[in-house]
Amino acid sequence: MVYGVIRSVQAALKYRGGWRGLWEHMYTNGDYPFKFGTYMGCDAAGNRYYENRVDYPYGQHRWVEPGDIHNFDSSSIPPEWHGWMTSMNDAPPAAEVDYIEARKAHIKPLCKSDANIDHNVGHQEKIFNFHHLHNQSSVRSRGFGIGNPIVGLPPGVKDAYYTQPGSPYNDASIRPRVNIGDLDAGKGGGRPYKSQKWADRLRTPEEKMAIEKEKLDFAKRAVEVEKANAAMRKLAMASRGAGTVAGL
C-alpha cells in the first residue's frame, strides 16, 4: 500500500511537471489516487483533455483539466469537446480536422463562388466569447457603474448576455434618435427635441405661458380681420343695391 502510494506520487511528479503542477492538480480536481491518462488535445480556452480506458470505469475515463483554474465553468467546454467528454463520439475534435480535409479532396465545385470557405463540411465560424464562456448570462454588471469583478467585467462595459430581438437592451433594435429642432437654436443649442410633444416637455412654465398668450393674440387678430372682411363685403353688396344682407 505504502509502496503503491510512493510510486503514484513519483509518477504524478513526473507527469505533472513537479510539485507545483501536482498541488495545482489536487487543488483543481481533488483526485486521489492521482489520475493519469492519455493527452487527447486542447481547446481555445487552454483546457486539456485526457482519456484512460484501462484504469477507470466507463463514465470516468475521460476528464478535463481547466486552463484557468480560478475561472472555470462547465460552459467553458466547447460543443465539440463536450460531445467527446459525454461519449457521444469517440473521435476527438482534432481528428475532425483531418476528416474535413480528407472530405474536401472529393468535393467537386459545380460553379465559382466568392464565399470565404471552400467546403461545407463541419463547423465553420470561430467563436470568441468573454473568458471563453459559451454561457454569457453571468456576464452582466452587478450594479450601475461598478461592473462585475467576479467575471472581470469592467465598469461601464455593456453586458454580454443575450437579449431577444426587439428588446430595448438589444443594440440592433435601438433606433437612432433623430432630432427635428432645438429650443435653444439661437443660443447655440442645448435643448434638442425629436417631436412637438417632446418640445412641450422641455419648455419652461414661462415659455408655455408666452406661447398660450401668442395663440390668444393670434385668435383675437383673426377675429378682427374676419370682422373687417365682413364689413367690406356688406358695403360691397350695399353698393350694388342688395339692401340689407341677413347675418352681416
Q: Is 47 within the bounds of a domain?
A: yes
Q: Which region among 30-34, 159-163, 198-202 has the lowest average model confidence (pLDDT)? A: 30-34
Quote the CA–CA distance of 70 and 50 in Å, as a whole number: 20
Q: Is 239 within the bounds of a domain?
A: no
Please count the structural domains in the chain.
1
Residue 163 pLDDT level (bands cut at 50, 70, 90): confident
Q: Is 183 within the bounds of a domain?
A: no
Q: Given this model, what pLDDT does residue 122 score?
A: 45
Q: Is 215 within the bounds of a domain?
A: no
β-strands 38-42, 192-193: how paired?
unpaired
The closest of 49, 46, 24 to 38, measured between CA atoms, is: 49
The closest of 170, 193, 173 to 183, measured between CA atoms, is: 193
For 44, the domain range is 2-107+118-173
Quote the CA–CA distance of 101 and 119 in Å, as a whole number: 9
Q: Is 158 within the bounds of a domain?
A: yes
Q: Is 161 within the bounds of a domain?
A: yes
Q: Phi/psi zone of residue 228: left (φ > 0), alpha (ψ -120 to 50 degrees), beta?
A: alpha
Question: Is residue 193 within 8 Å of 182, Cβ to Cβ?
Answer: yes
Q: Given this model, what pLDDT does residue 218 score?
A: 92
Q: What is the pTM (predicted TM-score) of this model?
A: 0.40
Q: Is 202 within the bounds of a domain?
A: no
Q: Is 13 within the bounds of a domain?
A: yes
Instruction: Identify the H or E element spanning 39.
Output: strand 38-42
